[in-house]
Structure 1
Amino acid sequence: MKAFVLKKPGVVGWHDAPEPSLVPYGAILAPVAMTPCSSDVHTVYGGGSPKAPNLILGHECVARILEVGDQVRDFSPGEVVAVPAITPDWRALAIQEGNDRHAGKPFSGHQLGRTQPGVFAERFLIPDADTTLAKIPQGVTLEQALMCVDTMTTGFTGAEYADIKAGDTVVVLGIGPIGLMAVAGAAHMGAARIIGVGTRPVCVDLAREYGATDVISYRDGDVVEQVLDMTDGLGADGVIICGGGDEVFTQAVDMVRYGIGTVSNVNYYGGTGSIGYPKFSGGRGMAGKTIHMELARGGRARIERMLKMVQYRRVDPGKMVTHRLHGLDKVEEALELMHHKPKDLVKVMVQND
């Protein structure tokens, strides 16, 4: 079976991989549309924990069901479904404690393309179809469904953990794909003023479409000072970190309000070591600022909620698809696009014709 794999750190290629084996609660699927994620780029080029040899990459996919196990109730061969990027084992004991993303071990919810074979292959397995796969409502396009499985749910996760209240001022640090969906999420949760931080014109334009009232850039000066000036020195009620290097965490703490402010992080920080907590703006440990460091929410119910937001025209994540390629063999080109990020790119969709 043809599959796009991580051969070793920094080296990808095509591999004749074993066929997936059907399990009682599972489904075998063939990708219909895929998109590489910035975390695929991190997996390939950014180091991190060791990966299995010839690990099949990819975790953002819309797919057609080929086979289902004898315990599957809700899905049938031939259906085209959304495949969530975050696929917890919903039968794990820690799920009952509300720990759906790190049940049993860290990052147990993020399995596809990390600890189990991903979706960039002719066929792949989802071990628990009924709790994982999401039904796509009528009228939702392929592009829209594909953007729901990771990008939209991650951005909305950032907004949800920012504890947004009606009338809040919210800053979104980084307005790439995740940040754009954080802007949309913040708008739907009642933020009055949404300040996006970014520079690429294609993303600035989309940020305004999704609800940003202001967009600022580091090119115009220190972003913390800009936010403090715009808020009469108070700072933002919420800051959602969606991109950037280690420095953005410190910036977020610097610019969020004392006493009631919340920092919500869905950004990936590569490497090891520490990210700095500022003593002064952190109130020397007593600032009353809340910090959430979160992995995206996943699973069937979650993604079907995202798809409902699209179905009823609350948000159109399909606008983020700026590039389209055709054929499974174009996955490698798509990964390089996400790696190098040309100015006109937001997301690239590979349609498996």
Structure 2
Amino acid sequence: MKGFAMMCIGKTAWINKERPIIGPFDALVEPLALAPCTSDIHTVYSGAIGERTNMILGHEAVGRVVEVGSEVRDFKKGDRVVVPAITPEWRTTAIQEGVPAQHSEGMLTGWKFSNIKDGVFGEFFHVNDADMNLAILPESISLEQGLMMCDMMTTGFHGVEMANVQFGSTVAVIGIGPVGLMAVAGAALRGAGRIFAVGSRPTCVKIAKEYGATDIVNYKQGSIVTQILEATKNHGVDHVIIAGGDNSVLGDAVTMLKPGGVIGNINYFGEGDSLPIPRLAWGCGMAHKYIHSGLCPGGRVRMERMIALVKYGRVDPAKMVTHRLSGLEGVEKGLEMMHSKDADVIKPITII
């Protein structure tokens, strides 16, 4: 089968591989629609998770089931499914011990596609533990909507969950690419009062406002910390969701946060050995400013809950789709669009 792969750090190419072999609990899926992610850019061009050789890229897909293992009970050939970016192994004692499923076999091991195994940018791809990781995509939900659930929606909403956003609270979302936009939408759904969205691209700003942002902070117009502190009369914000930025952004988040506030980090820091925290802004370590970070939840139930939010009109993640490409070959162009970050790009997708 054909797939678009990372050959080594800094190099991609089309390759041919054997069709994946499934186990008794697994499924083989063919893609119906695919999307590239900034994480793929970090993996390929920054070498953020180390060297990978001849590994098919991609972790955002909706597809059609081609084959299921002998022990799969809830899915069959022909089912249209949402495939979460994170597909944990659910049959582990670590989960019984309280370890988040995303790390059930070790840190970040729920992130299998284009990390531990081949990703979804191929003619077929393998899904482990199908009954626990796939979700039926209703006919009433579009491929575009389903595709945005796999990673962008669940990740953005996880930032809101980790930041513990409350009714009427003040929130800053740093970075309004697709994940940050979903964090804005999630904060609004959670009942936030004032929502600062940090970004500069007009296309993203427009969608941020549609999703509920009340204030736009343009980092090109000065320090985002200064702008937010001035806007809040030096009170700061109750919650910060980090969805973009370089290694200095954690320090910015700590500085703009009130004592007692919570940071939810969903940013993929792709370079460097450490993330600095400003000592005084963190109250010499005693400010009661809490930092939570995590890999987005995956699995069937999570996807079914994302589906319910879309099905019943709470949010439309398809607003983020700015470019539609055709055919499997479109993933190469889509990935380059995410790499170049042109002003009019939020999320390109490929319809197979």
**TM-score category of the 2 structures, normalised to the smaller one:** over 0.9
Q: In the TM superposition, what whole-angstrom CA distance separates every residue of 1:301-334 from its partner, at most 9, and x where no partner exists? A: 0011011100001000001000000010111111
Equivalence for 1:99 = 100
SS in 1 for 2:240: strand
The answer to whether 1:252 aligns with 2:253 is yes
Equivalence for 1:3 = 3
Q: How do 1:229-244 and structure 2 match up within 5 A?
A: 229-244=230-245
Q: Relative to structure 2, which stretch is displaced further, 210-219 or 176-185?
A: 210-219
Equivalence for 1:213 = 214
Equivalence for 2:110 = 109
Equivalence for 2:283 = 283
Q: Relative to structure 2, which stretch is displaced further, 265-274 or 67-76?
A: 265-274
The answer to whether 1:266 aligns with 2:266 is yes
TM-score, with normalisation over the residues of structure 2? 0.98
The answer to whether 1:20 aligns with 2:33 is no
CA RMSD of aligned residues (A): 0.9
TM-score, with normalisation over the residues of structure 1? 0.98
CA distance in 2, matches of 1:209, 1:49: 35
Q: Relative to structure 2, which stretch is displaced further, 133-142 or 19-28?
A: 133-142
Q: In the TM superposition, what whole-angstrom CA distance separates every residue of 1:158-213 from its partner, at most 9, and x where no partner exists? A: 01111111110000000110000000000011101000000000000000000001
SS in 2 for 1:33: strand
Letter matched to residue 345 of structure 1? V
CA distance in 2, matches of 1:139, 1:256: 41
The answer to whether 1:222 aligns with 2:223 is yes
Letter matched to residue 24 of structure 1? P
How far 1:335 moved relative to its partner?
A: 0.6
Equivalence for 2:75 = 75
CA distance in 2, matches of 1:238, 1:322: 29
Q: In the TM superposition, what whole-angstrom CA distance separates every residue of 1:57-85 from its partner, at most 9, and x where no partner exists? A: 11000011001111111001011100000
CA distance in 1, matches of 2:261, 2:322: 35
Letter matched to residue 266 of structure 1? I
**Equivalent residue pairs, number:** 351
How far 1:95 moved relative to its partner?
A: 1.3
How far 1:51 moved relative to its partner?
A: 4.1
Question: Retained in 2: the 8 A contact 1:198–1:204?
Answer: yes
CA distance in 2, matches of 1:267, 1:34: 21
Q: Relative to structure 2, which stretch is displaced further, 76-85 or 263-272?
A: 263-272
Equivalence for 1:86 = 86
How far 1:144 moved relative to its partner?
A: 0.4
**Compared CA separation, residues 218 and 272, structure 1 to 2 (3 A):** closer
Equivalence for 1:59 = 59
Question: Retained in 2: the 8 A contact 1:52–1:115?
Answer: no
Letter matched to residue 204 of structure 2? C
How far 1:219 moved relative to its partner?
A: 2.3
Question: Retained in 1: the 8 A contact 2:247–2:272?
Answer: no
Question: Retained in 2: the 8 A contact 1:330–1:350?
Answer: yes
How far 1:155 moved relative to its partner?
A: 0.2
Letter matched to residue 25 of structure 1? F
Q: In the TM superposition, what whole-angstrom CA distance separates every residue of 1:255-283 from its partner, at most 9, and x where no partner exists? A: 0001x100110001122311111011100
CA distance in 2, matches of 1:203, 1:19: 38
Equivalence for 1:190 = 191
SS in 1 for 2:206: helix
Question: Retained in 2: the 8 A contact 1:202–1:346?
Answer: yes
Question: Retained in 2: the 8 A contact 1:51–1:115?
Answer: no
How far 1:254 moved relative to its partner?
A: 0.3
Question: Retained in 1: the 8 A contact 2:87–2:128?
Answer: no
How far 1:4 moved relative to its partner?
A: 0.9
SS in 1 for 2:120: coil
Q: How do 1:310-325 and structure 2 match up within 5 A?
A: 310-325=310-325
Equivalence for 1:128 = 129
**Structure 1: runs of 5+ lacking an equivalent:** none
Fraction of identical pairs, as percent: 49
